[in-house]
Amino acid sequence: MKYFINWHVAPKEPQINMKQLFAFIRKEFYHVFRDKRTLLILFGLPVVQIVLFGFALSSEVKNIGISIFDNAHDNNSEQIINRIKTSSYFLLKDPVISYNEIEERFKEGSIKCAVIFPANFSNDLSHFGKAEIQIITDGSDPNTATILVNYLSAIISSYQSQLKPAQGISYQIIPQVRQLYNVEQNGSLNFIPGVIALIFMIVSTALTSVSIVKEKELGTMEILLVSPLKPIMVLIAKAVPYLVLSIINFIIILALSVYLLDVHIKGSLALIFFESIIFIITCLSLGLLISNVTNNQQTAMLISMMGMMLPTILFTGFMFPIENMPVIFQIISHIIPSSYYYIIIKAVMLKGLGFSYVWKETLILTGMAVFLLTIALKNFKIRLT
């Protein structure tokens, strides 16, 4: 009977709800678009990161300052010096005339490497069949030091083999190196997945974490709570604008990497988007959770910026290889959502693998999203204290 009376009212209710939801989402969009500077930073951040990583930063070692302490001044030493000079790895500084001067230059920071030829270099080489060259590197940067020693050894040994071409063919294994997935050796491939994950963490987590706590701080939370909207609707309305912003940012990054950095996207675009949206939802849930449990903007920002950003950079493995870390950190990396996303995006976007390769990671990520969203919802207090 009740149903009979209200039958024409009942179907209308969800419609009103949807309308309310849209009104709330619109309000959130106003909040976001009002702050032009933050918006500018949001879109400037990925652009600047891509440009810097793409064009300014490289893990290559070149143009390294080198000084030569030539005690020999003979044919062979001059020839080797010429070879070093023409190599693009080194920037030949003025020759030094004493051992102490080398140290002086290291301390000024003008050179990272020095080569010392002993007196009678040619003489030793031709008469005794053996001569020495000493290389001194600035060991304070160990990786660069290793690479420099390798470069110099290669230059010297190639000079040596040219010196004695008739030495007879020795047994040799010639390694042929092939670069899988990255034939053109595009350095951009190394950092793009990391940049994407980082931007999502900034846009989705940090901004969302401020959104609810800001209403608490400004006192407008009261109004939200007396509205007929359910908590889940409030959370959805809060999250939607940042979801949209994240997706726009994602498209910008993809477009920049394809058109500016010549990255080939090998896998299916639909799959990449699908996985990204799952990850964005995870980040948003995390942001909402932070926002629900904190009481002021500064704390929320400190947690989401300092607390979340560093683990993302460290434990996803895009800056530093995870295998080298202590075991405890390797375990931590397994509970950080971005490390799964990083694996997925590398496999799908750069290696061109299909869903069958990443279903496990996808499942974990989805589980995390559901888990975080549930906790966020549970922690949403409908009473002000």
One residue of 2, 8, 12, 164 binding other proteins per CB under 8 A: 164
Q: In the complex with other proteins, which residue's Cβ is closer, 347 or 368?
A: 347
Which of the ranges 20-28, 239-247, 257-265, 322-330 carries the binding residues for other proteins, by CB under 8 A?
322-330
Chain residues 105-124 in contact with other proteins, contact rule CB under 8 A: 106-109, 112
Cross-strand bridge partners of residue 90: 64
Which of the ranges 237-245, 257-265, 268-276, 294-302 carries the binding residues for other proteins, by CB under 8 A?
294-302
Q: In the complex with other proteins, which residue's Cβ is closer, 6 or 146?
A: 146
Helix (H, G, I), strand (E, B) or coil at 238: helix
Cross-strand bridge partners of residue 70: 117
Helix (H, G, I), strand (E, B) or coil at 315: helix
Q: How far apart are CA 103 and CA 98, in angstroms?
A: 9
171 binds other proteins (CB under 8 A): yes
Chain residues 236-265 in contact with other proteins, contact rule CB under 8 A: none
One residue of 98, 167, 226, 270 binding other proteins per CB under 8 A: 167
Tokens of 8: 């024409």
Helix (H, G, I), strand (E, B) or coil at 317: coil
8 binds other proteins (CB under 8 A): no
Q: In the complex with other proteins, which residue's Cβ is closer, 86 or 157?
A: 157
Q: How far apart are CA 26 and CA 226, in angstroms?
A: 18
Which of the ranges 223-231, 252-260, 275-283, 325-333 carries the binding residues for other proteins, by CB under 8 A?
325-333
298 binds other proteins (CB under 8 A): yes
Q: In the complex with other proteins, which residue's Cβ is closer, 65 or 287?
A: 65
Helix (H, G, I), strand (E, B) or coil at 3: helix
129 binds other proteins (CB under 8 A): yes
Q: Which candidate, 347, 196, 381, 326, places its Cα nearest to that of 271?
A: 347
Angstrom distances, CA of residue 77 to CA of 70, 83, 118, 373: 7, 10, 9, 69
Chain residues 53-92 in contact with other proteins, contact rule CB under 8 A: 53, 55-65, 91
One residue of 68, 96, 152, 261 binding other proteins per CB under 8 A: 152
Tokens of 130: 């053996």
One residue of 98, 179, 219, 226 binding other proteins per CB under 8 A: 179
**Phi-psi domain of 209 (left: phi exceeds 0; alpha: psi -120 through 50; beta: other):** alpha
End-to-end, the C-alpha distance of the chain in Å comes to 43
Q: In the complex with other proteins, which residue's Cβ is closer, 18 or 319?
A: 319
Task: Map tokens 């030569």 to a residue.
Answer: 68
331 binds other proteins (CB under 8 A): no
